[in-house]
């Protein structure tokens, strides 16, 4: 049984039917709940993986819904946890937040730290099928299978009530995870997501490296393609700042996703935020709306 509020400095939790253990690195009281950082040896990624959680005060007495947040390029589990200001609203609604790292690290792959938009901190949340990445870069399976199993086994949560959101590359990750698993994620939203990676420089570079040159493989990880096959029951919330330099550089392409949603009748609330950019200042400004969006669905 998980004892979150009486844990020592370093807590090792045994995981049923899994070879690895979950190690608590540090924790902090926050809005009556706790922020905590964990590491574990991932069977999926064959490396140590890190994630942060916020367990709201309601979890002291009952299981709570889960909301996964996927960060963008160069980020770790710390960026959202420290900068977004989400804990106040997660405490208000009684939702657990889970923020994983953005990739495996220190795997020994040659060149994994050479480019800021490929390798470490830049997994694009896909399952790689191309050497040398495929041995460790199985982030789609990690996010959708291994990590939820860890959370369900070790925290007081309601696994049937989970949502997902993210920023930039992580917004792309949130969209594809939800669209590929419409029965698993009840709610989804994104800040400035990469909406059509097949059509932007970031996506073309990453998909070629991780998935090869067969663009049929790419379609399985492009939200603007996936939404034409799978639709969600609930409205998707997207926020895009008009002063976002990456939007202006045609890296994000929300219009392509909007058009694809319109074609198939997928409910979408694409909000254009005048003067806002790609930073965590934007995320902090809009985070309350996103937590409320998820709470309206997960806390029914």
Q: How do the domains of the chain map onto residue ranges? A: 45-298
Confidence of residue 21 (pLDDT cuts 50, 70, 90): confident
As a whole number, mean pLDDT of residues 128-138 equals: 98
pLDDT at 77 over 50: yes
Query: Is 278 considered catalytic here?
Result: yes
- 215-218 CB contacts, 8 Å cutoff, 24+ apart: 217/129
168 is catalytic: yes
pLDDT reading at 4 higher than 50: no
In the chain, % of residues over pLDDT 90? 93
- Among 42, 71, 168, 189, which one carries the catalytic annotation? 168
Q: What is the pLDDT of residue 11?
A: 33
pLDDT classification of 192: cutoffs 50, 70, 90: very high
C-alpha–C-alpha distance, residues 87 and 69, integer Å: 12
Structure pTM?
0.93
Token pair belonging to 12: 């090792």
The residue from 224, 244, 290, 294 that is catalytic is 244
The one catalytic residue in 40, 172, 278, 290 is 278
Mean pLDDT of the 237-258 span: 98
Mean pLDDT of 119-132: 98
Pick the CATH number of 45-298 from 3.20.20.150, 3.40.50.1820, 3.40.630.30, 2.40.10.10: 3.40.50.1820
Neighbouring CB atoms inside 10 A of 289's CB total 14
Query: What's the gap between Cα 58 and its chain centre?
Result: 23
Q: 148-190, pLDDT tens digit by residue?
A: 999 999 999 999 999 999 999 999 999 999 999 999 999 999 9
Sign of the CA dihedral with 71 first, then 74, 78, and 84 last = negative
| Average of per-residue pLDDT across 18-47 | 92
């Amino acid at each position: 049984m998980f004892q979150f509020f009486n844990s020592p400095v370093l807590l090792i939790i045994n995981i049923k039917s899994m070879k690895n253990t979950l190690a608590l690195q540090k924790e902090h009281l926050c809005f009556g709940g706790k922020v905590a950082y964990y590491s574990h040896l991932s069977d999926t990624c064959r490396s140590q993986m890190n994630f942060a959680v916020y367990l709201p005060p309601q979890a002291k007495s009952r299981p709570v819904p889960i909301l996964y947040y996927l960060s963008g390029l160069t980020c770790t589990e710390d960026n959202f946890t420290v900068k977004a200001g989400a804990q106040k609203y997660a405490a208000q609604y009684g939702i657990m937040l889970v923020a994983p790292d953005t990739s495996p690290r220190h795997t020994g792959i040659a060149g994994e730290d050479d480019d800021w938009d490929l390798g470490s901190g830049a997994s694009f949340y896909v399952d790689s099928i191309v050497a040398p990445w495929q041995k460790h870069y199985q982030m789609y399976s990690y996010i959708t299978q291994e990590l939820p199993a860890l959370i369900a086994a070790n925290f007081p949560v309601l696994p049937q009530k989970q949502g997902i959101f993210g920023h930039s590359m992580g917004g792309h990750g949130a969209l594809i995870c939800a669209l590929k698993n419409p029965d698993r994620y009840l709610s989804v939203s994104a800040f400035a997501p990469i909406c059509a990676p097949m059509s932007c420089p970031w996506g073309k570079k990453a998909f070629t490296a991780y998935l090869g040159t067969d663009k049929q493989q790419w379609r399985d990880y492009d939200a603007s393609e996936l939404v034409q096959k799978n639709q969600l029951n609930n409205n998707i919330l997207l926020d895009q700042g008009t002063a976002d330099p990456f939007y202006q550089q045609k890296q994000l392409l929300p219009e392509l996703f909007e058009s694809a949603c319109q074609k198939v009748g997928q409910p979408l609330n694409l909000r254009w935020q005048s003067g806002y950019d790609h930073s965590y200042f934007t995320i902090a400004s809009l985070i309350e709306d996103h937590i409320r969006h998820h709470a309206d669905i997960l806390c029914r």
